[in-house]
Structure 1
Amino acid sequence: MEYRYLGHSGLKISVLSLGGWVNFGRVSPAFDNGINYFDTAEVYDGGKSEIDMGNAIKKLGWRRSDFVISTKIFWGGKGPNDRGLSRKHIIEGLNASLKRLELDYVDIVYAHRPDPDTPMAEIVRAFNFVINQGKAFYWGTSEWAAHQIVEAYGVANQLLLIPPLAEQTQYNMFHRERVEREYTSLFKEFKMGAAVWSPLAGGILTGKHNEKIAEDSRLALEDNAVMRRLRDGLLSEEGRIKIEKIKKLKAVTSAQLAIAWCIKQPNINTVITGASKPEQMEENIQAVKLACRLTPDVLKEIEDILNNKSSSQFNFRDC
């Protein structure tokens, strides 16, 4: 397994990581194959994800120094102070997460979304407070706009506090703009880390939906708004164009290729994958080996098929 430093820290994490709710059967083969980074959130399955992950870690009997774990704070419940990034919820939310995980600390705590109702100084101070208490080593952001991350860095520098270490964001062959264009200056100026999720675009890049939506898949869920949007998009004209691209890419299993492609992209530290059964985890792990075979010529062939590379920032001096 390949390991990379996360952002501007000395923390090393595996290029492939496991996220979401997990059980012993999925965590064990992941760890046995060198995966050391596991991600969850207080909102996943109403907190049960953290409980399951904690139980799996306890059953496996790992040394705490052998794995890296992160959780995310924003949606903690239905109470008036159970949501957002107030100092109150960041502190209480992380305490509740640690209790469910049965851990003394997490390695990284992420702000699951930006909170325009809470002053940035309060957010930065609160994350630094839990770090100073020893309940987290680093903090990061998830799905924040570049200007919000810059503001957080500015506040941290002004107050001599710890800035966010990494951004956890969506990234895949069909969702590229934010990582490849918006965050470019952040990678350069702040050495910000990137932990990316949804490398399979909600399952679309597996190829199993090429003919019709697989009935036993998450994409078929009617009560999930995210899956519903993805499904509607796949049934559109743009969706049909994507399916034709997927068919052209299918030299190996599409899932492995999609993950390997993410691993090979600049500035990506780890690719967070999910798995509903151990066999899927084993298949995802093979993507790391496949990534080694993606030469510049192969990547160019893939790029020619995708034809959606984000353009760089326009420089008026070149006019």
Structure 2
Amino acid sequence: MSPANSDKMTYRFLGDSGLLVSKLALGSWMAREDYHTMDAWYEMMKTAFARGVNFFDNAEMYGSGQAEEVMGGAITKGVEEGVWSREDLVVTTKLFFGYKGYTESGPNDQGLSRKHIVEGARASLRRLQLDYVDVIFCHRQEPHTPIEETVRAMNYVISQGWAFYWGTSEWLASDIREACEIADRLGLIRPIVEQPQYNIFTRGKVEFDYVDLYKKYKLGLTTWSPLAYGTLTGKYSSGKPDGSRFSKPGFASRVITPSYEERVEVADKLKPIAKELGCSLPQLATAWCVSNEHVSTVLVGATRPEQLEENLKAIEFVDKITPEVKAKIDAIYSVAPSVPGVDPLAFLRKRHLKSSYCCRSRIPELDQVE
């Protein structure tokens, strides 16, 4: 089976593999308080698939496992109704946080130990109602587990047929390099893809830190948040709309560089460029991400099929993101390399340790993390 209307979608290889993925993908992030029915998600997946999308991303933590459950139901329904076959889809999930929440998991319910990777992979497959996923990611780096243990565990998952490839998400370049070197030394399968945040405001890892990894390992990228948590939609010019992310208490404080206010100002300055190209600001921001040749696919999200259709039209404007257009964007906002900071998630498993065990961390500043 093939997408009904995929003439405008094009594909790229996922890193140094033979797997072709659509340049735009559907992400399924949801908070615990969000609720999507299986039927609603099925309509979203059908909308994406009809426009050539074959890459569908998930994670054990999204909606405390609910995102995997509704996606699994939607995939099954699509197969039963003849909309797609399992072979048509590239399905991914991510392990690290567990499905019980950031701080509610037990000592071994999260992290990148062999135990959690194996148990987490099996649990994700049950929720997804699948025999395998195409790619399984380490959702974050874990300072308390040796990278070799993680590499061996991911190799085991692949050897069991539960996944075809594995990757990382928001890892430091040095840790990805170490994982690749360990895999090569031991004759194991190395990660082929990294999933970092990438947008006009957040470029450090993609445009600076990972450059050597592209050259040496042909590392692929599946990037997320092309609209920078929604600040590149342009809808915040007149304030924070009710129901938006930034209307929620404390959300704006998560955005540090640049600040929420600066992001809104930059978004307004980018609108004339979008108008000149004949697209919306969200389409400009997404097409800009796709225009980076190192990006295999860009994850987009939406709450309604109509919104998703508009976001997917960004593929039509990728060729218009010329060096001249990029220069105009850089003149409004550009990014310089920076030194990676302290891992903000190191506390997740540290809380289960006695202080004397903190020496196992490979991050010297770990004790400064609250």
Q: Tell me if TM exceeds 0.5.
A: yes
Q: What is the aligned partner in structure 2 of residue 169 from structure 1? A: 196
Deviation of 1:302 after TM superposition, in Å, equals 2.6
One-letter identity of the residue aligned with 1:19: G
Task: Rate the CA distance shift 1:226–1:183 in 2: closer, same or farther, 3 A.
Answer: farther
Question: 2: CA distance between counterparts of 1:188 and 1:220?
Answer: 42
One-letter identity of the residue aligned with 2:210: Y
Say if 2:31 is the partner of 1:6.
no
Residues 142-191 of structure 1: CA deviation (Å, up to 9, x unaligned): 00000000110111011110000100000000111111000111111110
- Asked whether the 8 Å contact 2:214–2:220 carries over to 1, the reply is yes
Q: 1:99 aligns with which of 117, 123, 126?
A: 126
**Range moving further from structure 2, 290-299 or 243-252:** 243-252
Q: What secondary structure, in the 3-state scheme, does the structure 2 residue paired with 1:206 have?
A: coil
Task: Rate the CA distance shift 1:93–1:52 in 2: closer, same or farther, 3 A.
Answer: same
Deviation of 1:242 after TM superposition, in Å, equals 2.4
Q: What is the aligned partner in structure 2 of residue 230 from structure 1? A: 255
The TM-score, its normalising length taken from structure 1, stands at 0.92
Q: What is the aligned partner in structure 1 of residue 33 from structure 2? A: none
- Asked whether the 8 Å contact 1:152–1:164 carries over to 2, the reply is yes
Task: Rate the CA distance shift 1:270–1:92 in 2: closer, same or farther, 3 A.
Answer: same
Q: 1:72 aligns with which of 94, 106, 109?
A: 94
Q: 1:26 aligns with which of 44, 48, 68?
A: 44
Q: What is the aligned partner in structure 2 of residue 35 from structure 1? A: 53
- Asked whether the 8 Å contact 1:221–1:228 carries over to 2, the reply is no
Deviation of 1:253 after TM superposition, in Å, equals 1.1
Q: What is the aligned partner in structure 2 of residue 111 from structure 1? A: 138
Q: What is the aligned partner in structure 2 of residue 63 from structure 1? A: 85
Question: 2: CA distance between counterparts of 1:240 and 1:277?
Answer: 24
One-letter identity of the residue aligned with 2:316: K
- Asked whether the 8 Å contact 2:245–2:251 carries over to 1, the reply is no
Question: 1: CA distance between counterparts of 2:155 and 2:337?
Answer: 36
Question: 2: CA distance between counterparts of 1:170 and 1:287?
Answer: 18
Q: What is the aligned partner in structure 2 of residue 203 from structure 1? A: 230
Deviation of 1:299 after TM superposition, in Å, equals 2.9
1:102-251 to structure 2, matched below 5 A, reads 102-222=129-249, 228-230=253-255, 234-236=259-261, 238-239=262-263, 241-251=265-275
Runs of at least 5 residues in structure 2 that lack an aligned partner in the other structure: 1-8, 30-35, 339-370
Q: What secondary structure, in the 3-state scheme, does the structure 2 residue paired with 1:205 have?
A: coil
Question: 2: CA distance between counterparts of 1:140 and 1:227?
Answer: 30
- Asked whether the 8 Å contact 2:266–2:332 carries over to 1, the reply is no
Task: Rate the CA distance shift 1:158–1:43 in 2: closer, same or farther, 3 A.
Answer: same
Deviation of 1:11 after TM superposition, in Å, equals 0.5
Q: What secondary structure, in the 3-state scheme, does the structure 2 residue paired with 1:203 have?
A: coil
Q: What secondary structure, in the 3-state scheme, does the structure 1 residue paired with 2:328 have?
A: helix
- Asked whether the 8 Å contact 2:232–2:264 carries over to 1, the reply is no
Q: What secondary structure, in the 3-state scheme, does the structure 2 residue paired with 1:194 have?
A: strand
Residues 64-109 of structure 1: CA deviation (Å, up to 9, x unaligned): 1101010000011312110100000000000000000000000000
Runs of at least 5 residues in structure 1 that lack an aligned partner in the other structure: 313-319
> What value does the CA root-mean-square deviation take over the aligned residues?
2.0
Question: 1: CA distance between counterparts of 2:148 and 2:201?
Answer: 35
One-letter identity of the residue aligned with 1:17: A
Deviation of 1:51 after TM superposition, in Å, equals 0.4
Q: What is the aligned partner in structure 2 of residue 264 from structure 1? A: 291
Question: 2: CA distance between counterparts of 1:179 and 1:127?
Answer: 24
Question: 2: CA distance between counterparts of 1:117 and 1:109?
Answer: 20
Question: 1: CA distance between counterparts of 2:16 and 2:45?
Answer: 27
Question: 1: CA distance between counterparts of 2:177 and 2:203?
Answer: 20
Task: Rate the CA distance shift 1:232–1:208 in 2: closer, same or farther, 3 A.
Answer: farther
Question: 1: CA distance between counterparts of 2:252 and 2:328?
Answer: 30
Q: What is the aligned partner in structure 1 of residue 358 from structure 2? A: none
Q: What is the aligned partner in structure 2 of residue 315 from structure 1? A: none
Question: 1: CA distance between counterparts of 2:96 and 2:337?
Answer: 32
Question: 1: CA distance between counterparts of 2:313 and 2:65?
Answer: 30
Task: Rate the CA distance shift 1:303–1:11 in 2: closer, same or farther, 3 A.
Answer: same
Deviation of 1:298 after TM superposition, in Å, equals 2.7
Q: What is the aligned partner in structure 2 of residue 298 from structure 1? A: 325
